[in-house]
Structure 1
Amino acid sequence: MENAQQNKHKLFGLIGKNISYSFSRTYFSKKFEELQLSNCSYVNFDLENIAKFPNILKEHPEVKGMNVTIPYKQAVIPFLDSLNKNAKTIGAVNTIKITKKGKLKGYNTDYYGFKKSIEPFIKPNHTKALILGTGGASKAIAFALKKMGIDYNFVSRSSSNADFTYKILTKYIIEDHPIIINCTPLGTYPNIEDKPPIPYEFITKKHLLYDLIYNPEETAFLKLGKEKGAAICNGLKMLEFQAEKAWKIWNE
């Protein structure tokens, strides 16, 4: 009986919008191959609207776990039965576990992936950060920075949900925040010329520019930082770390 349980097909997937580019499917398909888990597969659930989320479970009762990406990290929360402590504090979910009782529990592994991937780049002068964007991903980044003892300010197009708008970023503000993190989708393939509208001329070799985007590997944002001598890092390692954490959660 136990063997039959183990061989039962297990489906995992990614919820998002316009996600054909997704890292997750490639990553997990390769993982299942390496671990010789022929009963596991991973698919993209490309949803035009989050209201269609419950249909996934009706149509695919074999789903055991899901990753969540832009733009549903916050919108998915009302559909879940519970949240773990960190996800509740952050207010965003990027991992869902379907429990043995069929309940949906939300987790956030983004903060863990980010923290683990940025730590090797942190220098003693990196005590303040600018977080570009105010979506679900930025909340996890803020949570990680807080755990690392790094002060942060949010930057957005409108002042209603941020500390600064792009328009008011001065030389002093840029110099005062040696870490700059792009949590917006600006610069993602195919729109690789796009970049957050910050005054790049004030970036120096004391800065660290981190982009959550991983496709392309070097965004216009990172390229300009590199030209100014700044340390740069893309979001690939963060994705790998958060995916590993998600896999652990699904198997606990």
Structure 2
Amino acid sequence: MKKYGLIGFPLTHSFSKSYFAEKFRREGIVDCQYELYELPEIQALPAVLVNEPELVGLNVTIPYKQEVIPYLDRLDPACREIGAVNCIKITPLELIGFNTDYFGFKTSLSNWLGIERPGALILGTGGASRAVAQALKDLNISFLRISRSPNPDSGTTRSYEDLTASPQLLQEYPLIINTTPLGTYPNTADLPPIPLAGLGPEQWYYDLVYNPEETSLMREAARRGAKTKNGMEMLHLQAEAAWEIWNEVD
């Protein structure tokens, strides 16, 4: 039996187990199992690996995409550049970190935008935002990071207060990408504190959240005429990329 799984905390929002269970059923994949490993702290990871010797692959979600790195033997070169891990390949000799968020987001965003390349605001500075930033760089899309605690030494990071005080930023950077967990089930009423009055038909709002399918901010943006997209396609793309990594022959 080959085992795969997801580590993070909390995991009440995750669709990964049902996604892979359906994949196994649909594709006739036998002797495979996908489980959720909810870890209150990343220090619990070694015990999981000892107790689950059949594990050959793990997905990594919030809040451990950066914290997991010291527990790995090496990183895929592209993953090292991003600085965040969402996929681990487990071999008898080593743990190897990858980032399939990058592939999933870049492909999904390109499908959605077509030839458009609007400037972007990245909401959040966690592990997922690093994959998003790298994808935007490779697509030649300019961006600003928006954070609750911006780094004054970084010219690309601004605060939510800055955004409220300078609503013209929503015109200069009409593609808004939420990489935070705000709005995720069960706290579906939460939303990033951006100036809603600045949203309109010229904005594109991409929310990496996929549960619920329409977040509170997606709904508010759509009501004002903005184009919206959730993270479900990205989820499918990154999951399939992880499956290929786990099962490629070295």
TM class by shorter chain equals over 0.9
Task: Give the Cα–Cα distance (whole angstroms) in 2 for the partners of residues 34 and 102 of structure 1.
Answer: 32
Q: Given that residues 20 and 44 in structure 1 are in contact (C-alpha distance below 8 angstroms), is that contact kept between their aligned partners in structure 2?
A: no
Unaligned runs of 5+ in 1: 1-8
For residue 166 of structure 1, the aligned residue among 160, 163, 175 is 160
Look up the match of 2:93.
102
Look up the match of 1:112.
103
Look up the match of 1:17.
9
Look up the match of 1:231.
227
Task: Give the Cα–Cα distance (whole angstroms) in 1 for the partners of residues 146 and 108 of structure 2.
Answer: 22
Residues 1:247 and 2:243 are matched in the alignment: yes
The SS at the match of 1:192 is: coil
The SS at the match of 1:205 is: coil
Q: Given that residues 181 and 212 in structure 1 are in contact (C-alpha distance below 8 angstroms), is that contact kept between their aligned partners in structure 2?
A: yes
Look up the match of 2:135.
144
Q: Given that residues 7 and 36 in structure 2 are in contact (C-alpha distance below 8 angstroms), is that contact kept between their aligned partners in structure 1?
A: yes
Structure 1 segment 40-55 matched on structure 2, within 5 A: 40-55=32-47
Unaligned runs of 5+ in 2: none
For residue 51 of structure 2, the aligned residue among 59, 62, 69 is 59
For residue 132 of structure 1, the aligned residue among 123, 126, 142 is 123
> What code does the residue aligned with 1:41 have?
Q
Look up the match of 1:196.
192
TM-score by length of 1: 0.93
Q: Given that residues 187 and 193 in structure 1 are in contact (C-alpha distance below 8 angstroms), is that contact kept between their aligned partners in structure 2?
A: yes
Task: Give the Cα–Cα distance (whole angstroms) in 2 for the partners of residues 195 and 83 of structure 1.
Answer: 33
Task: Give the Cα–Cα distance (whole angstroms) in 2 for the partners of residues 203 and 37 of structure 1.
Answer: 45
Corresponding residue pairs, total: 243
Residue 250 (structure 1) shift:
0.5
Residue 125 (structure 1) shift:
5.3
1:113-141 C-alpha deviation (Å, 9 max, x unpaired): 01111112216553310000000000000
The SS at the match of 2:168 is: helix
Provide the aligned C-alpha RMSD in A: 1.3
Give the % identical residues: 48
Q: Given that residues 125 and 178 in structure 1 are in contact (C-alpha distance below 8 angstroms), is that contact kept between their aligned partners in structure 2?
A: no
TM-score by length of 2: 0.94
The SS at the match of 1:171 is: coil
The SS at the match of 1:12 is: strand
Task: Give the Cα–Cα distance (whole angstroms) in 2 for the partners of residues 41 and 21 of structure 1.
Answer: 19
Q: Tell me: CA distance 1:11–1:124, structure 2 relative to 1, closer, same or farther (3 Å).
A: closer
Q: Tell me: CA distance 1:245–1:124, structure 2 relative to 1, closer, same or farther (3 Å).
A: closer
Task: Give the Cα–Cα distance (whole angstroms) in 2 for the partners of residues 107 and 125 of structure 1.
Answer: 29
Q: Tell me: CA distance 1:125–1:178, structure 2 relative to 1, closer, same or farther (3 Å).
A: farther
Q: Given that residues 178 and 206 in structure 1 are in contact (C-alpha distance below 8 angstroms), is that contact kept between their aligned partners in structure 2?
A: yes
For residue 71 of structure 1, the aligned residue among 56, 63, 67 is 63
> What code does the residue aligned with 1:185 have?
P
1:69-112 C-alpha deviation (Å, 9 max, x unpaired): 0000000000000100111000000000012x331000000011
Residue 57 (structure 1) shift:
1.1
1:208-249 C-alpha deviation (Å, 9 max, x unpaired): 100000111111111111111111000000000000000000
Residues 1:37 and 2:26 are matched in the alignment: no
Look up the match of 1:175.
171
